[in-house]
Structure formats: C-alpha cells, structure tokens
Amino acid sequence: MKPGSRWKSAVCDTEVVVVRPPSSALEIECGGHPMVAAGTSPPAGLSLSPEFSAGTKAGKRYSDDESGLELLCTKAGQGSLSIGGRAIGEKEAKALPSSD
C-alpha cells in the first residue's frame, strides 16, 4: 500500500488516498467490505453493512494509531472506514490561520 495510492469503496461512493502507509500489510474496508484499487471493479453482490454506515467526508483525514495508516478521503460516501472490523477515526486537525 504505497503512499499516494488510491482506493475506492466496493459498496458506496467513498474514495481515499493513502497519506501514510501502514507498518505492515493490511486491507482497508469501507462500508464493511474491502476497498479496491481505483480503476478496478469491485466484486458484485455486496451491500453496505449497517454497522459501517456512518459515512465519510471529503477532505477529512482518517488515521489508525495501531498500524500507523493515514488516509485522506477524496470523495464522500455512505460507508465508514475500518481495518479488520476495527473502525478508523477521523484525525483531529488543528486549524491554522491562512498563510498564503
């Protein structure tokens, strides 16, 4: 899982990009199902798991302390993100004054 690689949800519109790769190989899920590499088609017949349906927001960063993985959501969707069934939370970002 390279930094900059892009992934999309198998069950909703969510798309993410890897900002910081995990310390060891893992699978990211969205809406309860593994995400697929952008540009490939997901397996058919899957549906959004109600347990993972809180939604993602474009421009939010999601990070997992355990694996070190950090993602940026590039397109919002209905599913929420997890690793092996463990939910990944939104990263708290401190707002900075505009400097450009």
Partner 1 sequence: MHTALLLEMASDAAPDRIILGEMEAGISYAELAARARGGAAWLSTQPGETVVYLGLNSPHLPVAVFAAGLAGKPFAPINYRLSDEELRRLVARTAPSVAIVDEDMLPRVQGVDGVQLIGSGAFQAICEDAEHRAAELPFVDPDIGILLFTSGTTGEPKAAVLRHRNLTSYVISSVEFLCADDDQASLVSVPPYHIAGVSAILTGIYSGRRIVHMPAFTPEGWVDLAAKEKISHAMVVPTMLGRILDVVESRGEKLPHLKALSYGGGRMPQIVIERALKLLPHVDFVNAYGLTETSSTIAILGPDDHRTAIRSTDPKLRRRLGSVGRPLPTLELEIRGPAGEVLGPGQAGEIFVRGDQVSGEYLSKKVIRDDGWFPTNDGGWMDEEGYLYVEGRLDDVIVRGGENMSPGEIEDVLRAHPNVADVAVLGIPDNEWGEKVCAVVVSRAGECSIDELAALVKERLRSSKTPELWVFRDALPYNDTGKLLRRVLKAELTKPADELASA
Given the complex with partner 1, which of 43 and 97 has the nearer CB atom? 97
Task: Answer yes or no whether residue 60 interacts with partner 1 by CB under 8 A.
Answer: yes
Beta strand 15-20 pairing with 70-75: antiparallel
Distance between CA atoms of residues 37 and 86, nearest Å:
20
Name the maximum alpha-carbon separation found in the chain: 48
Kindly write out the interface string for residues 11-40 of this chain, putting x where it contacts partner 1 by CB under 8 A and - elsewhere.
------x-x---------------------
What residues make contact with partner 1 under the rule CB under 8 A? Answer: 3-4, 6, 17, 19, 58-61, 72, 74-76, 93-100
